[in-house]
Amino acid sequence: MQSAVDSTSQFVKDHAPVVTGAAVGAIAGAAACKLNGSDNVLLCAAGGALAGAALGKVWDYRQQVLAAAAEKHDINIEVKTLNTNNQRYVVSESQTTQKEDNAMSVTVQDNGMFATGSSKLNPKSKDKLLAVAQGYISENKKIQIIGHTDSSGSAELNQRLSEKRARSVAQLFIEAGIPEQDIYYQGVGESRPAVANDSSNGRQKNRRVEIVEADSEASLVAYNIARTISKDNLRFADGSKSVKSTPVDKTAAARAKAPIMDFGGKPVASANMDFYTAIGAPERSVPSIFSKTYANEDYITPIACYVDAPRVSGGIKTANGEQLNSDQYKIRDYVPGLAKSALYAKINNHTVGLSPVAVLKNSYEATSNPNISLKTPDGLEKYQTVVNTYEGKDSFLYRIFTVNKAAPVGCIDLVYPKDGGGKATAGALFYQADGTYVAEFQPVKL
């Protein structure tokens, strides 16, 4: 008996993905039957166990191949598996209705594979990545290469560089024998930091290539959305790029170039901004069946926009450079009240307008960067913006940054309920006076 116990224990250790997949598959199968009103719970559990074990076997093999390549070629990699729950992000009729899918993410640390500012792989790194690519051949999966950078340089430059690097690795995977139609790439720049960028070691860890493997394009899209709106992206902010809390030049020349507007706010040090904590942690989707994922796992109180900077990320592209998921959305696809809407509010006799404000329901992604309209001594002025959104439990954060650093408004944070309504439950407008000030701002639909 003891021998049997020891053998079973060793099998579980050696084939953890298979065993865990079978266990969680059985639970998921039984739960699905109950939800659908079926009495064949045991049959559903058995079916789920078989499906989970089969998937676990695939990941088990993949991890063994990648581990062998990493050891042989001295490659620093990290393997994570996750459930994409892609049904949650279906917002358009042209998208898939598939409900659940599983994916695996493999992160390869840069460690000098690219020269500074370059997207050309050095020969040694090319050989290492070719060894990694061998583990993905003949598996009939969708493979997405994601490039990440540190925060050195502008966010826009980093996004473009990360996309070029991702494309270089994607081409290498095609050379290794993976079908071109199964390869995708994306550059997310500095928008998803793994650690803080405040040291050379931290910046090195943020320079990385991520390889995501999934059964469908829909799951790649779902994973991208989940990572884009995750508050994990706010865990580390680069203070050097945030709105500065410094005195503003009030000379006549400066006022003529960028009029200073008093929105009747308070210095940020004395303002009450407790509304950030009310956003809460989002509900977790079906957990990964193998290991802990890094999206939305821990409660993170969002930092205010004035100590943050725009998170610039590119979309997913096919191997030939075509944009993936470029759907034309309908009004019903948007959060009620935020369907390409015009919003406004009056603050200390200044009318502030935002248009168009468009946020997709279910995914809480912004599909447009609205202009901020302000009436100035020179007439009606419009300022371009960059928008980031982040998901909470019952609400989401809509964050606006002005592109023109001389604009009267620095950034705006708005909290909206997930069920819509067109009015923010809380909001803050940050601007410069003799330092950084914040005014309450809750625009309504025009």
CA triple 305-307-312, angle to 5 deg: 65
User: pLDDT tens, 117-152?
Assistant: 999 999 999 999 999 998 898 778 899 999 999 999
Indicate whether 366 pLDDT > 70: yes
pLDDT higher at 24 or 399: 399
d(CA 432, CA 132): 50
Task: Report the pLDDT value the prediction gives residue 89, as an integer from 0 to 100.
Answer: 62
Edge-first strand listing for the sheet containing 371-376: 379-383, 371-376, 350-357, 341-347, 444-445
42 band by pLDDT with thresholds 50, 70 and 90:
low
Q: What is the DSSP letter of 76?
A: -
Task: Report the pLDDT value the prediction gives residue 27, as an integer from 0 to 100.
Answer: 45
Give the tokens for residue 223: 């994973």
88 band by pLDDT with thresholds 50, 70 and 90:
low
Task: Report the pLDDT value the prediction gives residue 288, as an integer from 0 to 100.
Answer: 33
d(CA 212, CA 111): 20
Query: What would you measure as the largest C-alpha separation in the chain, in angstroms?
Result: 90
Task: Report the pLDDT value the prediction gives residue 162, as an integer from 0 to 100.
Answer: 97
Indicate whether 80 pLDDT > 70: yes
Q: What are phi and psi of 397, to 5 degrees?
A: -100, 125
User: pLDDT tens, 308-346?
Assistant: 999 999 999 999 999 986 667 888 899 999 999 999 999
User: pLDDT tens, 346-362?
Assistant: 999 899 999 999 999 88
Task: Report the pLDDT value the prediction gives residue 231, as an integer from 0 to 100.
Answer: 86
User: pLDDT tens, 229-265?
Assistant: 988 888 888 878 876 544 444 444 444 444 478 999 9
Task: Report the pLDDT value the prediction gives residue 235, as an integer from 0 to 100.
Answer: 85
- Are 371 and 384 a contacting pair, CB within 8 Å? yes
The mean per-residue pLDDT over the stretch 274-280 comes to 81
Single-letter amino acid, residue 237 = A
Indicate whether 163 pLDDT > 60: yes
- The mean of the pLDDT values for the chain is 79
Indicate whether 107 pLDDT > 50: yes
Single-letter amino acid, residue 149 = T
Task: Report the pLDDT value the prediction gives residue 300, as an integer from 0 to 100.
Answer: 66
- Are 111 and 76 a contacting pair, CB within 8 Å? yes
Instruction: Locate the domains of the chain by residue range.
Output: 1-73, 245-283+328-445
- Are 151 and 203 a contacting pair, CB within 8 Å? yes
d(CA 171, CA 394): 42
Task: Report the pLDDT value the prediction gives residue 434, as an integer from 0 to 100.
Answer: 87
pTM score of the predicted model: 0.80
